[in-house]
Chain A
């Protein structure tokens, strides 16, 4: 039939760009670094295959410590972003008046449109020993000498939370927005206290949004580069930095690729674990907004 031909043709036309995109830009490149990561260098321009890059990773505590540190900090940042962002999302979705809601949301989004670099730069200006906060504290006499706020993990976490919190707020707002106020009212009406209603109704309802936000935030944090480097101090190690070092400073594509694969696998594992624990699925959470 002519009509089924049209259907088929339109399907092919729509599927082709998708297939090209996913295959050429996502799957094959990932396989590519997988392939490189299995290459062992035996001499200039000579390679054999094996898992020695992975063995090297595992046998060097610095590397996996960095990976663990990155993961741990990312989880911390994710949790912080959730704690900081939830009240904000709740305010925007449930408390603010209709009109101010849009404005608030927009205000929250503005920093999103400025590059990481600018934001980190801003923090440096504020937090450095001779920066605004330190000067201000000295001026009001709270401290006698200059105080350094930069170059420590707390600053890194704060800076990372800053860069990612909006990715937490957006999905949260969109799920909370879909929540009928009458659910909350019903929660009170049936005798629930403020805390009960929050724990048993609001949070479970927002769960898909929470999970989506956490996944995105976790991934962004684990993959971030500038903020930990610029704000981090002398102990600050970040796994993406390691990858960059391997690729650029050490000219070692093999171990760089290995690190890349490991980062991907490890973060995917964390995300999978999170999805399992909260009983959600990737498609139903992230794709919702």
Chain B
């Protein structure tokens, strides 16, 4: 018997009903957004005009499917580039941070630790504008005083990457540090003791141990980067990632079910990715 659970059957059913309602609440907008991707209509709205896959595959006007829509594909490509770059950087920096805070003792550690968490609690918009302002100040300063033009400090992919990196690093650091904390330092000492060099210990013992955390940190960072809007909005240049492209499309052109198609595609994609990360984690727990 699980004492934590309600004991009376009625309450148990009420509780289960609540859970079910909650899951429906979670699924409803996703379902709605996904459903109209298959509606054979120009508008993502009722009435239902029948099932079609045109919004994915059609290449003819007016129903250009998402796989033939150059701008959406470009946005997707930009998102992928940004996501991979940001995740790789954030995982690398997060690993450094994890080692720094788990393994090293230094004065002011607590303050630095809080500083590390702070980006998580700064609203994304503010991260975006502060970076925009700061980069512009530098770029303008350089231009006015030295006549140097550092265009990468202007809105564009580079700034988007920096902006997302600035808060994703906190997340990856926390994920990796949590795993590193569970690492028994005796494993490293054992490897040393068996004759391994520092680098070898890192490569054969510590990093393999951290691997599941590195992987899930990467996935989390990638997905968050992929869906990020607030920070990116302020920093985006001519190479807009997918969310911004979709937003522009929705607000400035008008939505067609192709946006639903993209949403559906993203849901399936990120669902699969999340699933993969869980599987990796689970497999790790078993060993």
Q: Do chains A and B touch in the complex (CB under 8 A)?
A: yes
Judge whether A110 is part of the interface by a CB distance below 8 angstroms: yes
User: Which residues of chain A have C-beta atoms less than 8 A from B119's C-beta?
Assistant: 25-26
Instruction: Out of A14, A121, A225, name the residue touching B229 (CB < 8 Å).
Output: A225
A11 touching B106 by the CB < 8 A rule?
yes
Give bound CA distance, A15 to B118, whole Å. Answer: 17
Q: Considering the complex, which residues of chain A in the window 18-34 have a beta carbon less than 8 Å from any beta carbon of chain B?
A: 18, 21-22, 25-30, 32-33
**Nearest residue, chain B, Cβ from A136:** B46
Query: What's the Cα separation between A36 and B135 when bound, in Å?
Result: 13
Give chain B nearest CB distance to A126 CB in angstroms. Answer: 5
Among candidates B100, B166, B227, residue contacting A113 with C-beta atoms closer than 8 Å = B227
Contacts of B15 in A (CB 8 A): 87, 91, 95
Q: A243–B118 Cα gap in the complex (Å)?
A: 21
B33 touches A119 (CB 8 A): yes
Residues of B within 8 A of A33 (CB): 126, 129-130, 133-134
- CB of B219, distance to nearest CB on chain A (Å): 9
Identify which of A33, A35, A226 gathers the most chain B CB atoms within 10 Å of its CB. Answer: A33
Closest B residue to A181 by CB, please name it: B4
B96 contacts partner chain A, Cβ-Cβ < 8 Å: yes
Whether B130 lies near A29 (C-beta < 8 A) is yes
A62 to chain B, nearest CB (A): 19
Tell me whether B28 and A118 are in contact (CB under 8 A).
no
Q: How far is the CA of A226 from the CA of B231 in the complex (A)?
A: 12
Q: Which of B49-57, B185-193, B274-282 contacts A (4 or more CB under 8 A)?
A: B274-282
**List of A residues within 8 angstroms of B99 by Cβ:** 14
A34 to chain B, nearest CB (A): 9
Is the pair B29, A119 in contact by a Cβ cutoff of 8 Å?
Answer: yes
Q: Mark A107-123, 1 if CB is under 8 A from B, else 0.
A: 11111111111111111
Interface hits, B105-123 → A, CB 8 Å: 106, 110, 112-123
B-contacting residues, A34-92, CB 8 Å: 35-36, 84, 87-88, 90-91
Question: At the interface, yes or no: A289 with Cβ under 8 Å from chain B?
Answer: yes
Selected from B4, B129, B162, B260, the residue in CB contact (under 8 A) with A256 is B129
Q: Which residue of A lies closest to B28 (CB)?
A: A126
Interchain CA distance A121-B27 in the complex, whole Å: 13
Question: Is there contact, CB below 8 Å, between B117 and A286?
Answer: yes
| Complex interface residues of chain A between 123 and 148 (CB less than 8 A to chain B) | 123, 125-126, 128, 130-132, 135
Q: Does B82 contact A (CB under 8 A)?
A: no
Q: Which single member of A88, A113, A125, A244 contacts B270 (CB below 8 Å)?
A: A113
Contacting pair A21 B19 (CB below 8 A): no
Q: Judging by beta carbons under 8 Å apart, are B227 and A115 in contact?
A: yes
Q: Are B4 and A184 in contact (CB under 8 A)?
A: yes
* A162 contacts the other chain (CB 8 A): yes
A283 touches B118 (CB 8 A): no
A261→B31 CA distance, assembly (Å): 38
Within the complex, the shortest CB–CB distance from A205 to chain B, in Å, comes to 12
Take A114-B266, A126-B32, A131-B45 as given contacts and tell me if A21 and B169 are in contact as well, using a CB distance cutoff of 8 Å.
yes
Q: Which residues of chain B are within 8 angstroms of A184 by Cβ–Cβ distance?
A: 3-4
Residues of A that sit less than 8 Å from B by CB: 6, 10-11, 13-15, 17-18, 21-22, 25-30, 32-33, 35-36, 84, 87-88, 90-91, 94-95, 102, 104, 106-123, 125-126, 128, 130-132, 135, 162, 181, 184-185, 188, 194, 215-216, 219-220, 222-226, 240, 243-244, 247, 253, 256-257, 260, 263-264, 267-268, 271, 282-283, 286-287, 289
- B residues lining the A interface (CB < 8 Å): 2-6, 15, 18-19, 22-23, 25-33, 36, 44-46, 92-93, 96-97, 99-100, 104, 106, 110, 112-127, 129-131, 133-134, 137, 162-163, 165-166, 169, 174, 177-178, 198, 223, 226-230, 233-234, 243, 246-247, 250, 255, 259-260, 263, 266-267, 270-271, 273-275, 278, 282
Q: Which 9 A-B pairs have the closest CB atoms?
A: A223-B123, A122-B29, A113-B270, A29-B130, A115-B227, A122-B33, A32-B134, A25-B166, A29-B134
